[in-house]
Structure 1
Amino acid sequence: MIDKPVLVAGASGFVGSHTARALVAKGRNVRVLLRKSSDQRALENLPVQIVYGDVLDATSLQAAMKGCSSVFYSVVDPRFWLTDPAPIYRNNVDGLVNAMDAALSCGIEHFIFTSTMGTLGINPDGPVTEDIEFNWHDQASAYILARLKAEQVFLQYCKEKGLPGVALCVANTYGPQDYQPTPHGKMLWDVARGKVRVALDAGAPTVDIRDVADAALLAEQYGRIGERYIIANEFISNRDFYNMAAKQGGHKPVRMIPQSVAFGIAWIGERVLKLLRQKDFLLSTDAVFLSNVFQEMDNGKARRELHWQPRPVRETISDAVAWYTEEENR
């Protein structure tokens, strides 16, 4: 009997491409949903079936999911810097709703949704767990609120419409095959090659991109419907994180910029850019706030229920820098 195909939506992205790669390694019959404009470098030489479409096109979603057993949904619009949040909600929320409706219509057996640690609550008394409800609405940016809305609608579909879904609350991802690259991955590489010599005095939970892909496959096998799992590994300060990269690249330790200084620069920069009628700028107080809002996270639920075993962050940094170096030297 031939295995039913599985669909990876968002397969040109960092999470989606690694999920497709992990599925291929397991011998699965993999179908990927891409837009015709998608960068396909991360999928080169992978034996996957490409279906062109868009999550905002319900007909293309139906066609992509037809005959599939599982959907790995990693479509995300990460443009937190947009002045107008409408596209963020349209792509992150409306696109997900379209995909879930198609999944229900096509009888999908497993729907693995890549969410974000940004949907988790803040716990001033210790590590964050999945049980802590979101509790920082007044401080959250439009991007975070859009991702929160997406996850809330997803969990509602699981509870009220029977969507066989599992949500993964993923931390900042790093690792090899970061072709685009991600903004935080590029920062890691810039430090490793000595192009950037300063970093914000903050910290964040991290996770290896390959471990995220492993978590997605484990969630398909072991995840409980309607549950979310924290997919975050070690919390590490920027000082320690970037200095590992700097050392590997043969450079001196980076200098730290205090949070208060960075916030002040961003505050002034925002106002100047607004006076100049500029839009969609990366320099923002929201970005500074988000750089340090996420603290230690408890991944015990994923370890227990999904049998997830993430690798050390030092290995992630080493492999990422080695890959960036190889790519640059090609």
Structure 2
Amino acid sequence: METDTQTTLVTGGSGFVGSHIVRQLAAQGRKVRVLLRRSSNQAAIKDLPVEIVYGDVLDPDSLRAAMDGCGTVFYSVVDPRFWLTDQTPIFRNNVEGLVNAMDAALACGIRRFVFTSTMGTLAINPDGPVTEDMPFNWLDRAPPYIRARLEAENRLLAYCRDKGLPGVALCIANTYGPEDFQPTPHNHALWEVARGAMPIGVDVGQPTVDIRDAAQAALLAEKHGRIGERYIIANEYVRNRDLYAMATRLCGNKPPRFVPYKLAYGIAWVAERAMKLLGRKDFLVSTDAMYLSDVFRELDHGKAQRELGWNPRPLEETVRDAIAWFAQRERDSVADRTD
């Protein structure tokens, strides 16, 4: 592809998905430019041979400057703060930021725009695997964060249909794996369980995907994805009982005890109301968070397999590599403190 020889822009390149896209592009010898805010933690892309430019998706001028001369944009900016009491930043960052980027991409003649979306934009189907063709069917229960992500994806598909944006959307499941410098909450929880530091878990389940496979899907979508289409990027569905048993077995620890979902939801309901009565804001424990932790079931990645040539690795390999990375990082941190 001609885009291989041009500079490639990654927005959100300091995050878990974005940094792995950067890592794989750099490994292929591609010319990579990363758009970051000056406040971004750059640990995930430190020492990689990339060009860093500073800007913000809410600043259209900085987006156009970053895209100048680029062939492909991998858009991985996500504001995941579903716990914010004031949800205004969630819409601005997830929707308005994307619209600004799409307008800039059209103005700059970008040849491919790969958007990191989420499994949260997919339908819910408790009776079987979900596909991309199933219409969204839970707007009445979707919290503001999901509504914002759904609106963002719908805007992208509309831009592809009505304005000729060469875009592809990837509906990515919960990501696990190594090189998680932030770290992300669910991936870090896996490590906490594995090392025996989290004795209680909630009996919920989730679709999963290896972070490296998610990044590979983005690169495959650049080459093979059909414009205006979305692809499910999910591997195995797993209950936390099985996931955590796998993790603790690798470290020789006992699995945690599990709280039933309904009990955990009830605790969240009480805690949520107590926080509101006390006038607290931005609390993590909420019924929305608990609902999202167990609402998703099996996702069918057959379309990505057929059209992109995407073949994810076994979940056990993902868990093993994630734990090995966290363990090594902890050893390095201890060594740094004792030097």
TM-score bracket for this pair, using the shorter chain length:
over 0.9
Name the residue aligned to 1:274: 276
CA shift at 1:124, angstroms? Answer: 3.0
Q: Deviations over 1:170-226 (max 9, x none)?
A: 000011000010011111111011110111111110000000010000000000000
Name the residue aligned to 2:337: none
One-letter code aligned to 1:294: F
CA shift at 1:250, angstroms? Answer: 1.8
Conserved 8 A contact 2:126-2:297: no
One-letter code aligned to 2:119: M
Name the residue aligned to 2:221: 219
Residue of 162, 168, 190 corresponding to 2:170: 168
Q: Measure, in 2, the Cα distance between the counterparts of 1:154 and 1:79.
A: 21
Classify the secondary structure of the residue corresponding to 2:97: helix
Name the residue aligned to 2:336: none
Name the residue aligned to 1:6: 8
Q: Which stretch of structure 1 is more off in the superposition, 285-294 or 109-118?
A: 285-294
Name the residue aligned to 2:251: 249
Residue of 105, 125, 128 corresponding to 1:126: 128
Name the residue aligned to 2:46: 44
Q: Measure, in 2, the Cα distance between the counterparts of 1:7 and 1:221.
A: 15
Verify: 1:265 aligned to 2:271, yes or no: no
Unaligned runs of 5+ in 1: none
Name the residue aligned to 2:103: 101
CA shift at 1:28, angstroms? Answer: 0.6
1:222-233 to structure 2, matched below 5 A, reads: 222-233=224-235
1:121-200 to structure 2, matched below 5 A, reads: 121-200=123-202
Name the residue aligned to 2:293: 291
Query: How many residues end up aligned between the 2 structures?
Result: 330
Residue of 305, 308, 311 corresponding to 1:309: 311
Q: Which stretch of structure 1 is more off in the superposition, 192-201 or 61-70?
A: 192-201
Residue of 190, 197, 201 corresponding to 2:203: 201
Classify the secondary structure of the residue corresponding to 2:320: helix
Q: Measure, in 2, the Cα distance between the counterparts of 1:226 and 1:197.
A: 45
Q: Measure, in 2, the Cα distance between the counterparts of 1:100 and 1:248.
A: 44
Residue of 321, 324, 327 corresponding to 2:326: 324
**CA RMSD of superposed structures (Å):** 1.0
One-letter code aligned to 1:159: R
Classify the secondary structure of the residue corresponding to 1:292: coil
CA shift at 1:147, angstroms? Answer: 0.4
The TM-score normalised by the length of structure 1 is 0.99
CA shift at 1:42, angstroms? Answer: 0.4
Q: Measure, in 2, the Cα distance between the counterparts of 1:184 and 1:202.
A: 12
Name the residue aligned to 2:79: 77
Q: Measure, in 2, the Cα distance between the counterparts of 1:198 and 1:125.
A: 29
Q: Measure, in 2, the Cα distance between the counterparts of 1:133 and 1:22.
A: 33
Q: Deviations over 1:32-84 (max 9, x none)?
A: 00011100000011000001000000000000000000000000000011111
Q: Measure, in 2, the Cα distance between the counterparts of 1:257 and 1:33.
A: 42
Name the residue aligned to 1:26: 28
Classify the secondary structure of the residue corresponding to 2:19: helix
Q: Measure, in 2, the Cα distance between the counterparts of 1:30 and 1:252.
A: 44
One-letter code aligned to 1:24: A
Q: Measure, in 1, the Cα distance between the counterparts of 2:269 and 2:128.
A: 30
Residue of 62, 66, 69 corresponding to 2:68: 66
Q: Measure, in 1, the Cα distance between the counterparts of 2:259 and 2:296.
A: 18
Classify the secondary structure of the residue corresponding to 1:169: strand
Q: Deviations over 1:136-163 (max 9, x none)?
A: 0111111000000000101000000000
The TM-score normalised by the length of structure 2 is 0.96
Classify the secondary structure of the residue corresponding to 2:293: helix
CA shift at 1:125, angstroms? Answer: 2.7
Q: Measure, in 1, the Cα distance between the counterparts of 2:261 and 2:124.
A: 19
Q: Measure, in 2, the Cα distance between the counterparts of 1:195 and 1:101.
A: 46
Q: Measure, in 2, the Cα distance between the counterparts of 1:89 and 1:224.
A: 27
Q: Measure, in 2, the Cα distance between the counterparts of 1:180 and 1:167.
A: 24
